[in-house]
Structure 1
């Protein structure tokens, strides 16, 4: 299914139809703002005018040939609920097949967004005949949480973006939503699933980062450079014994290729066990006393240098092993 976005105007709807009329399955997603602040200052329209515009434009889209009409309520989370119920009921009667509830400014907490979905389901005529969708922004860092809360409440179509890119602080992140559903969908989310091949997530994320020029923070969930890297000594010890101790999500599940087998990054918090494993990877096997001496010299270096490279370690090893013999 290919979907085209349009404002609730004939000009936009005509453009969408010209672009999509030959698609095997097409959808139009039209929208209009429903909050008082948007209607007054942006649209300069009354509630009655907004309802009439929404109803007539859905009817127009259906008349052109769109069988799937998705109608979005921009700024729904700051809208009067009674008005929300009313306008949704009207566009459903006009032929809308999907209703999208938008947290346009990212102001909701998860319980609020879920409650809005519950209230819409309980108070809107015809709501059982359409699909409910959610569109969440990340202004409070809650886009993923709100989207998942919406799914728990009955949303079955969600708007996401790769790497969470989008206006201002961004939108709900595809990789976070997909992996949350993959890992907890059966247990917590009522058995929902996506069918997405998650092994392509990491390479797709890298492609989007490269072509968009929008760089990922290292600690970005799922796809950040540090997402499967372990620096703390306690964590490293656990990972070396069993990856499941500190990895709830498998790196392989998202196509993440590690620089080393266990994703260990040596630093000032690393312990002897991790250092020994790294030495073995580099081809060196030390006796206990040699390793102890090397470890404290390594800790001194790590206190001065954030990123410890293999060459740094080899330098330490050479200084430790190639010493002049005193007669």
Structure 2
């Protein structure tokens, strides 16, 4: 059975760039956009054109250079926003306008001082207007995670009828549990009568650390687009992490879902975005963190040296990492020391290893990590003790 395709909608340059202190200039955005296109993302959300002249220019320039992906511009359900986005996207091979409005009772009452009926009218009007400029119109129901399912279904049905090609169901505040978010997608699949005319999209935030889990639950229940960012960057606690959802789908073939992403470019793309934005990746970050394929426990190291798959479910090469790292610490065993010593030119016998290992432990208790240069020093100490080492 061939896998169904899940589209990857990357919003690193829009939602991701909303991180305080991580502003990118147009040149930096162009470099990242071209890399995202090479990576294989289906949609690049290039920015929010009406928000500033700089953002308009960036979207306009990105639209001209991206050759394969759809280029998307964000708007509110406001005519002027839509007009400006359409202008910025003129040069795109495949343009998309992403418009929408809040649908939760909280947003309707406190943000818009409106009614459900008026919100549907505004949503339909925005989609119809966007449709006069581009064929591909995505509608977002902001705060869909806290929106009543029955009302959300009414909104979805109305905007599909108005011409929406994609329905973005955001968990804007990162509130939903995976089962709850998946059930919401399933409800829409079963209760919006014209749902087959649009793609359901997951846009999940990470306030409770559930963005990736919610997005996966969404596609399991029928969504076919995931909105995400490189390294999971974004406002507050961030967005769904692109590299995580891509590798989850790839590592679980029984889901029969996959993406067009060239996973071998994930690590280098992560580094590019991190360096451009000045936002370090936490060492224990899944897939692209410095420790994602590093082993310091003696038990784990012994297993990985014998067979990588004992403690690694992903081949590092599949995401562009050169190899697994055997990190020498006071928790490391003889197998790890012998492995690293061989890498720097020492073939130790069992008796030699026993002696060197005792010296290694004394050294490792002083230092957090024993490096290659330290191994040379440990060997020299052992030589002074008249231990014959080749």
TM class, shorter-chain normalised?
over 0.9
Q: What SS does the corresponding residue of 2:137 show, helix, strand or coil? A: strand
Paired position in structure 1 for 2:359:
297
In terms of mean alpha carbon deviation, does 78-87 or 212-221 score higher?
78-87
SS, match of residue 325 in structure 2: coil
Give 1:119 deviation, angstroms. Answer: 0.8
| 1:84 pairs with one of 138, 145, 152 | 152
Query: In structure 2, the residue corresponding to 1:7 is in which secondary structure?
Result: coil
Please show how residues 120-139 of structure 1 align to structure 2 within 5 Å.
120-139=188-207
Identify the match of residue 233 of structure 2 among 152, 156, 165.
165
Q: 1:79 to 1:320 in 2, by over 3 A?
A: same
Higher mean alpha-carbon deviation, 85-94 vs 110-119, is at 85-94
Residues 180-219 of structure 1 aligned to structure 2 (within 5 Å): 180-184=248-252, 186-187=253-254, 189=255, 191-219=256-284
Partner of 1:239: 304
TM-score where L is the length of structure 2:
0.79
* Superposed displacement of residue 155, structure 1: 0.5
- Largest Rg, 1 or 2: 1
Partner in structure 1 of residue 330 of structure 2: 268
Shift in Å, 1:22: 3.4
Residue 40 of structure 1: how far off its partner (Å): 1.6
Map Cα deviations across residues 223-281 of structure 1 (whole Å, 9 max, x no partner): 000111111111111111111111110000011124xxx52111111110111111111
- Unmatched tracts of structure 1, length 5 or more: none
Offset at residue 86 of structure 1 (A): 1.1
Deviations 1:139-160, CA, capped at 9 Å, x for gaps: 1111111101101000001101
Cα deviation for residue 41 of structure 1 reads 1.6
Q: Which has the higher contact order (CA 8 A, sep 6+)?
A: 2
The separation in 2 between residues aligned to 1:242 and 1:287, in whole angstroms, is: 22
| Unpaired runs of at least 5, structure 2 | 1-69
Counterpart among 86, 92, 99 of residue 167 in structure 2: 99
| Counterpart residue number, 2:60 | none
Q: How many angstroms apart in 2 are the aligned matches of 1:323 and 1:270? A: 23
Whole-Å separation in 1 of the counterparts to 2:378 and 2:165: 66
Structure 2 equivalent of residue 25 of structure 1: 94
1:324 Cα deviation from its structure 2 partner? 7.2
Q: CA deviation at 1:103?
A: 0.4
Tell me which residue corresponds to 1:307.
369
Q: Identify the match of residue 118 of structure 1 among 181, 186, 195.
A: 186
**Residue in 2 aligned with 1:40?**
109
Deviations, residues 194-251 of structure 1 (Å, cap 9, x unaligned): 1211111111100000001111110100000011111111111111111111111000
CA displacement at 1:17 relative to structure 2: 0.6
Counterparts of 1:172 and 1:324, CA distance in 2 = 57
Number of paired residues?
318
In 1: Cα distance, 2:340 partner to 2:297 partner = 14
Whole-Å separation in 1 of the counterparts to 2:75 and 2:105: 21
Residue 287 of structure 1 deviates from its aligned partner by 3.1
Normalization by structure 1: what TM-score?
Answer: 0.94
Instruction: Name the SS of the counterpart of 2:121 in structure 1.
Output: helix
